[in-house]
Chains A and B, each alone.
Chain A
C-alpha cells in the first residue's frame, strides 16, 4: 500500500476530506465575523451564540411547528438575522462612538446571557436533530465512507461563502456598505441611509452564523455549548486570515480545518491547540494576518 508520512494514502485522503468539512464551518463562521468586523469595526463575541441560536431555532421549529430542515435552513437565518438587527438597532449602535472594546465587552456579555438562558431551559446534554431523509446514508468513495450530509455541507457552505463575497465586493449594495464604513459622513451626504446599512450588515453576519448553526444541527448535538466550543477557534481563523479580510477568512477557514484534521492523525492530543500555534506563528511573522493589509 502506498504510504504518505507513514500512514496509508487512503486514510490520508479521508482525513483531508474531513478537514475540508470542518473547514467549511470555520469558513462560514469566520466569514460572518470578518464581515461584521470589516464593516462595523465590532468584534462580535456573540457570534458563537448566534450560531447556537440558529441550531436551536431549527430544532424548535421542528419540535413545535413541524417545519422541515429545508425550510428551517431559510427561516432560522431570517429569524436570527432579525434578532441581530434588533440588537444592533437598540443596543450595539449606541456603542459605535466609543472605544471598540465596549462593543467587544457588550457582545461578550450578550453571548453569556443567551447561552446561560438556553442552558437553563434545555440543559447541557443537547437535543437531537436528525439528518433530513433526502441526505441520509452515505457514499463509499473507495478511500472512505462519506456521509451524504457532510458532502452537502461542503457544497452549500462554499456557495454561501462565494455568494457573500460577491455581494460585498461586486454589487452596488456592497460598494455602499464599504463606502459607508470608509467615510460615513460623506456617504450620508449622498442620501444613503448609513445607519440602516450598518444594521443590515450586522443582521447579515448574524444570519450567516445561524445558517452555519442549522447546517451543524444534524451533525452535532444541538446544545447551548456548541457555540462556545467553536467561537475561540473561529476568532483564531479570523486573526490568521487578517482581521476584516473577507476572502482571507474563507480561505483560512478551509486551510485551518485541514491542518487540524491532519493533526488528529499525527498527534491527536494537540488537535485542539494546533490552530492557536499557527495563529501565534502567523502573528509573529505577519502581524496583519495572511491576507490582511497593514493599517
Chain B
C-alpha cells in the first residue's frame, strides 16, 4: 500500500512538468546534451561529452550574437521514452534550442523525430544507425561523428582484406545492432565473403559464454561484435577465456573506442582492429585538444567526446553566420558551411544531414609498445569520407533531390 503511494507520487511528479506552454526566442541560446550517464555507454559518451560541450562554448567565448550560451544535460538511461520526455520538456518549457550527443540509436531516432515535429535542431554524435540520415532523416537533424556504414567499411573491410571471408555475428538486440550487422554483412558479401549466422543478445548482457559457444561452433573465421560499450568489452574478455582467439577465430569489434580499450586494458585488447573518427595522438591539432580535455576530465577523448565538441562549436558558428538562432536559418547555415577543426578535416554536410569526414582505421598496440598513458593505437590507414559514408543521393532520405 505504502509502495503504491510512493510510485503514484513519482508518476505525478514526472507527468506534471510536461503541461506548461511553449515560448519563442528568448534572449539566449540554450543547448542540451542528452545521453547515457549511468549505463553501459557512460564512458563511451556520458559526463565527459557534457564537459566537451562546455569546452566548445567556452572556446567560442560563451556568447553568440551577444546572446549568452547556456548548457543543460540529462541522463536518458538508454530508454527512448525517458529521452523523449526530457526532450519534450526541454523544448516546451525550458527554451532549449538544440539537443546534442544522443548516444543509443533508439533514443536518437525518437528524439530526432520529436525535434523535426518541434522544428528544433539536433546533432547526433553518440548514436550509430544510418537511419538517422536515411529514411528517418530530418531537415533539422545532423549526424556528426560516425555511423554504422563507416564502421562496416572500416573494420569490416580491413578484416575481409586480411582473409576473413566467413563471418558470424553477435548482435545487440536493437536498432543499432541490426543496422550494424546488416551493413557489415552487405559489405562482407559484396567483397565475396559469406555470413554463416547471427545471434541476437539483449542490451547489457553480462555473460556471453552461450553466444560465444554458438559463434565458436559456427566455424566462421571472423566473429563480428555488432554491439558496443561494456557489452563488447565483456564479449572480448570472455572470448579469450573460451580460447576462441587462440583457436584461430578473429574478433571484429565493430564499434569500439578509446574509452573501452582503456577499460579492457591493452593486454586483453591488443591487436584488435577498430574504426574511429578521431584519435587524440594523431597530430598536433588533435593532441592539443586531447591534452586540454584530459586536464579537465582525467581521460583522453574518443570520437564521441571530440565529435560533441566539434558539433557544438559548429552550431554556434552557424548561428553567427545566420545572424539569428531561428531554426530554419541555422539549419541552412549548418548544411552550407564546411567543417574544419581538429576533429573533422575538410568535412562537408550532405543534404541528408550527414557530416562527411575522414575516418581512421586503428589497431590496438601491444603492451609495452605504448610510449605514454592512453597511447593505445597505431593508425593503419585513413578512410576518405566519401568511401566511409553513404552517398547522400543513395541514402534513402527524401530531402535529397
Residue of A nearest to B198 (CB): A268
Q: Are A128 and B268 in contact (CB under 8 A)?
A: yes
Q: Are A223 and B230 in contact (CB under 8 A)?
A: yes
28 contacts between A and B (CB under 8 A): A18-B207, A124-B42, A125-B43, A125-B44, A125-B260, A125-B264, A126-B233, A126-B263, A128-B263, A131-B241, A138-B241, A138-B242, A144-B213, A145-B216, A145-B247, A150-B209, A220-B207, A220-B237, A223-B263, A225-B230, A226-B206, A229-B206, A264-B211, A268-B210, A269-B200, A271-B201, A271-B205, A271-B210
Q: How many residues of A contact B (CB 8 A)?
A: 41
Q: Are A126 and B230 in contact (CB under 8 A)?
A: yes
Interface hits, A1-39 → B, CB 8 Å: 8, 10-11, 14-15, 18-19, 21-22
Q: Are B43 and A124 in contact (CB under 8 A)?
A: yes
Q: Which residues of B are interface residues toward A (Cβ below 8 A)? A: 2-3, 38-44, 46, 173, 199-202, 204-207, 209-211, 213-214, 216-217, 229-230, 233-234, 237-238, 241-243, 247, 259-260, 262-265, 267-268, 299
For the complex formed, measure the closest distance between the CB of A238 and the CB atoms of chain B, giving whole angstroms.
18
For the complex formed, measure the closest distance between the CB of B44 and the CB atoms of chain A, giving whole angstroms.
8
Pick the residue among B173, B230, B241 that contacts A149 (CB under 8 A): B241
Given A119-B38, A124-B46, A272-B202, answer yes or no on A18-B210 (Cβ-Cβ < 8 Å).
yes
Pick the residue among B41, B213, B265 that contacts A11 (CB under 8 A): B213
Residue of A nearest to B269 (CB): A128
Residue of A nearest to B3 (CB): A101
Interface hits, A190-229 → B, CB 8 Å: 219-221, 223, 225-226, 229
For the complex formed, measure the closest distance between the CB of B298 and the CB atoms of chain A, giving whole angstroms.
9
Residue of B nearest to A126 (CB): B263
A-B pairs under 8 A by CB, number: 120
Q: Is the CB of A261 closer than 8 A to any CB of chain B?
A: yes
Given the complex, which residues of A lie within 8 Å of B242, measured CB to CB?
138, 145, 147
Interface hits, A67-118 → B, CB 8 Å: 99, 101
Q: Which residues of A are interface residues toward B (Cβ below 8 A)? A: 8, 10-11, 14-15, 18-19, 21-22, 99, 101, 119, 123-128, 130-131, 138, 144-145, 147, 149-150, 219-221, 223, 225-226, 229-230, 261, 264-265, 268-269, 271-272
Given the complex, which residues of B lie within 8 Å of A230, measured CB to CB?
206
Given the complex, which residues of B lie within 8 Å of A18, measured CB to CB?
207, 209-210, 213
